[in-house]
Amino acid sequence: MATITFLGAAQEVTGSCHMLESPALGRVLLDCGMHQGGDAVERIQDEQFAFDPSTIDAVLLSHAHLDHSGMLPKLYHEGFRGDILCTRATAELLSVMLHDSVGLYLRDLERTNIRNARRGKPAVEPVFDMEDVEGVLKLCRGSLYGERVDYGPAGVVCFHDAGHILGSAIVEVVLNEQSQQKTLVFSGDLGKRDSVLMNEPATLQQADVVLMESTYGDREHRDEESSLQQLRDILQQTWRRGGSVMIPAFAVGRTQDILFHLGCLHYQGELDNWQVFLDSPMAIAVTRVYDRWLDLLDGDEVRHLSDVQKTSLETFLPTLNLAIDTEESMAINRIKGGAIIIAGSGMCTGGRIRHHFKQRIWDDRNTVIFTGYQAQGTLGRILVDGAKRVKLFNEEYVIKAQIETLGGLSAHAGQGGLLDWIGHFQPAPRTLLVHGESRALDGLREALWDQQQLRAEIPSRGQSIVY
């Protein structure tokens, strides 16, 4: 008998974490992610595990995004010493993601404690530090897609390409107990079939239980070509107004897609004279990781890079400027128009994008382009939902910049892609929907019944099932 307990991303999008307990495998976590939204220091201080980390035998990590991996340093800090199984590319990205995330947390915590000292409040102790990051990275065991890894007394783990970001995986777990074989498949985050750079998500055909993401379970994305035309139109309109464009950067995946698309526009003669700035040290580091793993990425786009004799995303766009230190970031403020600024973070929860908003969001010549999902409680979601004013650095700003969303550049499958993916399983497995807000979960469950007569379940946080 195996038990799954849903500890995060159950009837919510962020904080992916599910516990699998079985005599064949031991006690393992599927992901160990961070919730997103609100004040980062308060959010991290409030994160609590519903288990003793020292009793966890392993973590099966679907990919490096922080809402799937961000609590690994806390897990280590509180006693976890098991293996972290993931793909090799995920292991490399994880180093970049966790060093950046924990560095930002510690700097924010330092500022919080300075304010607390002025107000006579006690200092807040960190829940993890850089030593915990180094400890996490030493526990990583990377494998290739399709490689079957024996684990536990009688378990087998295999990662399949999820097509979401570099290294992202569908996690297949086979348990052999009392002469019976049981298969669990955890989708992780599934990519779109027409995403640039990424391969299509792998399709599996057999499972007893499937945990499937539902982020966009109630809707479809624009197709890629429509989104590219929208991007062309937004850039042309903003150029004519004499404005600049701000793009909150999802450091892994979306930034690399945007750089590729802008490079294509440049070679087609459609980029005008925009100066492009990548103002995110993490996104720069991640782009260099992507360049080292180009052979994993989609063949058509990689061939396109070769066709123009550019072997990396970083050099594909000749007008690209890299802003690594704070002085280079601040220098962008002197450019009043004609700048495309790609800056962290993707949901505007922190990072340099907020400083650029302070300089430009009140100017109606400018445009903000969102390229991915904005979680509830984040500044990005507030802007997408149509707020007229926003508070930045304790000052209020009127929002006059145009707010645009390129839905077709999402790294998640829409409803059709999710239905197609689950439809390959024969017979239909027990299906549990995770990683989605209520509307998306309900929409996908209804579509699964209407189109495939599959009765999906929507587990709540803390719920357990036995299979």
Question: What pLDDT score was predicted for residue 222?
Answer: 80
What pLDDT, on the 0 to 100 scale, is given for residue 47?
92
What pLDDT shows up at residue 249?
85
Residue 375 vs residues 195, 215, 458: alpha-carbon distances, Å? 21, 10, 19
CA distances from 118 to 112, 123, 155, 158, 372 (A): 10, 11, 54, 52, 39
pLDDT of residue 373: 82
Q: Whole-angstrom Cα distance, residue 195 to residue 193?
A: 6
What is the per-residue pLDDT for 305?
62
Read off φ and ψ for residue 127, nearest 5 degrees.
-90, -15
Distance (Å, whole) CA 95 – CA 37 = 23
Instruction: Write down all domains in the chain, each with its CATH number in brackets.
Output: 3-219+411-466 (3.60.15.10), 224-409 (3.40.50.10890)
Please give the structure tokens belonging to residue 178: 């009392």
Name, in order, each residue with C-beta under 8 angstroms of 119's C-beta and a sequence gap of 6 or more.
none
Nearest to 218 by CA among 413, 375, 455: 413
Contact criterion met (CB below 8 Å) for 295 and 305 = no
> Dihedral, CA atoms, 57, 60, 63, 64, nearest 10 degrees?
0
Q: DSSP 3-state assignment of 115?
A: helix
What pLDDT, on a 0 to 100 scale, did the predictor assign at position 225? Answer: 82
For each of the chain's 467 residues, which pLDDT tens digit applies? 899 999 999 999 999 999 999 999 999 999 999 998 777 788 899 999 999 999 999 999 999 999 999 999 999 999 999 999 999 999 999 999 999 999 989 999 999 999 999 999 999 999 999 999 999 999 999 999 999 999 999 999 999 999 999 999 999 999 998 889 999 999 999 998 888 888 999 999 999 999 999 999 999 988 878 888 999 999 999 999 999 999 998 899 889 999 999 998 998 999 999 999 999 999 999 999 998 887 777 656 655 565 554 568 888 899 999 999 999 999 999 999 999 999 988 899 888 999 999 999 999 999 999 988 888 889 999 999 999 999 999 899 999 999 999 877 888 999 999 999 999 999 999 999 999 999 999 999 999 999 999 999 999 999 999 99
